[in-house]
Chains A and B, each alone.
Chain A
Amino acid sequence: MFRLQETRIDAVTLARELAQSGAGAGVTFEGWVRDHNDGRRVLRLDYQAYAPLAQSEGENILAEARARFAILEARCVHRVGTLQIGDLAVWVGVSAAHRDAAFAACRHVIDEVKRRVPIWKNEHYADGESGWLHPDGSAVKAN
C-alpha cells in the first residue's frame, strides 16, 4: 500500500496494521520536517506531487521490496501540502519473519522513494525566501 495524504499521518495505527501472526519483526521509518537545511533556518515546507505517477511509482517500489527481501508486508504514506516543523512527512513500515529483512527492506523503500517518486519539497526560510529542492544540484529559486 502506497498513499499520498493531505492530512496528518497516524503512525500508531499504521504500525498496528502491519502486525500479523507470521511476523516476528516490524521496522518503521518516520521522516520529520526539520527546522534547518544546508545552514538555513526552515519555517515550514510545502510538498507537491504528480499524484498518478507518484502512486504507481510508489507501488512499484513496494512490489520490488516484496520481491527482493523476505518480508511479509511493506507500506508507505507520504504527505502533500503544507507541513510545519516536527510534522511527520513520510512513513514506511515493513513486517517480516526476521529482523534483517525488515531493516533492509525499510531502508530500501525510503531510499527509493526519495530517489524516484515525483514529489517535491519547497522550503520556506526564516529570511523570507523559499526554494524548491532539486537535489542533483542545489535549491532552485522560482525565478
Chain B
Amino acid sequence: MSYCVLYFASLRDRAGTDAEQVDSTAVDARGLYAELRARHGFGMTEDRLRVAINGAFAPWQQPLRDGDEVVFIPPVSGG
C-alpha cells in the first residue's frame, strides 16, 4: 500500500524532507515507523512519539488504508 508520511521537527531534519510517499507492506503505524526508522536512522523510539492518521490522533495499532496520511508526532514544544 502507499502512504503519505509527513515529517516535523527533528524527524524532518533527519529524513531530509517534509513529506514522502511510501510504498510499504506495513499494516499499521507501528510497522510503518519501524520501517522508516531503519531507512532514515531516526533516533527516537516509538514510546516518545504519538501518531496522527488523516489529521487526527490515532492509536499505533489502528489499521492503515491505502492513501492514508500518517504523521509521527515528536514531543511538542510550543508556547
Which residues does A use to contact B, with CB under 8 Å? 31, 47-50, 52-54, 56-57, 78, 89-90, 110, 113-122, 132-137, 140-143
In the complex, how many angstroms separate the beta carbon of B5 from the nearest chain A beta carbon? Answer: 12
Selected contact of A78 from candidates B6, B12, B56, B78, CB within 8 Å: B78
Cross-chain contact B48 with A134 (CB below 8 angstroms): yes
Closest to B43 in A: A140
Residues of B29-79 at the interface with A, using a CB-CB cut-off of 8 Å, are 43-44, 48, 52, 55-57, 71, 73-79
Cross-chain contact B9 with A53 (CB below 8 angstroms): no
Interface of A is mostly: mixed
Selected contact of B79 from candidates A89, A136, A137, CB within 8 Å: A89
Q: How far is the CA of A90 from the CA of B77 in the complex (A)?
A: 12
The contact sample of 12 A-B pairs, CB cut-off 8 A, is: A53-B52, A53-B57, A57-B57, A119-B78, A119-B79, A120-B77, A122-B9, A134-B10, A134-B48, A136-B75, A137-B75, A142-B13
Known: A120-B9, A136-B48, A142-B13. A56 touches B55 (CB 8 A): yes
Cross-chain contact A135 with B77 (CB below 8 angstroms): yes
Cross-chain contact B73 with A50 (CB below 8 angstroms): yes
Selected contact of B74 from candidates A57, A113, A134, CB within 8 Å: A134
Known: A50-B71, A117-B78, A119-B77. A140 touches B8 (CB 8 A): no
Q: How far is the CA of A141 from the CA of B75 in the complex (A)?
A: 14
Query: Besides the contacts A117-B76, A121-B78, what 9 more A-B pairs have beta carbons closer than 8 Å?
Result: A50-B6, A50-B52, A50-B73, A53-B57, A54-B78, A121-B77, A133-B77, A134-B10, A141-B10
